[in-house]
Amino acid sequence: MLQFAIGVLMFEHVPINRRRRALLVAAGALIFQRVLQPMAASSQTTPGSRVKIGVIGAGHIGGTIGGLWVKAGHPVFLSSRHPEELQDLVARLGPLAQAGTVDQAIAFGDVVFIAVPYGALPQIGKDYGKSLEGKIVLDANNAVASRDGAIADEVECNGIGVTSQKYLPGARLVRAFNTLSYTIFEREANRPAPRLAVPIAGDDQEAVQSQRNWCAMPALILWRSAN
């Protein structure tokens, strides 16, 4: 189980159609208006529950979430276009953290976490799509028109989950950690109850279901929304 002290809100998911895209985009806001049913989570990360995580993009969100996983006891391989620049981060995080190329991160990870500017996603799919086929990929990317250009229009038209899956067609994609600033994750990690809710969504129901375990964290409540 991927564990650190931030609560997780689970969404029951069915295949996306155009009506549901707007709902998924607004999920982060709607979670606070829904009647939720608590579910208990495991309290510790044990050696048998550790998951090897490859991180593509070790900037603000990738470095922060990756660092929290390391602190919770999970081996994490951080990657970027300039892996030599990650050595200070790896040294701070300790022996469970490594850094290297994107190819190495994908090969290392049982799960891959992608946190890059959204405009980079088509190239990632082109360069590494074969390696990502069949892997569960956590997609934390958001499209910003001023930064990402034309692909932001595609996201506006078709929805971000559909667009991400288009460029990573073989991956078992789950949208996660995309609704809050890295500063909030950094500040609120390990806070006392109530825990911070993190919505996740995807079309691969088995992959989404597994997030109940992977995103579970010590001493918290897992939240599952009504369908």
Tens-digit pLDDT profile for residues 14-30: 444 554 444 444 443 33
CA–CA gap between residue 227 and residue 153 (Å, rounded): 29
* Arch. (CATH architecture) of 8-225: 3-Layer(aba) Sandwich (3.40)
Query: DSSP letter at 76?
Result: E
Q: pTM of the prediction? A: 0.78
Tens-digit pLDDT profile for residues 201-224: 888 878 877 665 555 443 223 333
Q: Are strands 36-40 and 76-79 parallel, antiparallel or unpaired?
A: unpaired
CA–CA gap between residue 8 and residue 145 (Å, rounded): 28
Q: Are strands 97-100 and 111-114 parallel, antiparallel or unpaired?
A: unpaired
pLDDT at 203: 81
All structural domains of the chain with their residue ranges = 8-225
Place of tokens 């009506």: 19
Residue segments in the chain with a per-residue pLDDT below the cut of 70: 1-48, 210-227
CB atoms within 10 A of CB 219: 14
- CB under 8 Å to 26, separation ≥6 — which residues? none
Which among 226, 224, 227 has a CA at the least distance from the CA of 39?
A: 224
Query: What tokens appear for 164 in the block?
Result: 């991400």
Please give the torsion angle defined by the CA atoms of residues 175, 181, 184 and 186, in that order, rounded to the nearest 10 degrees: 80
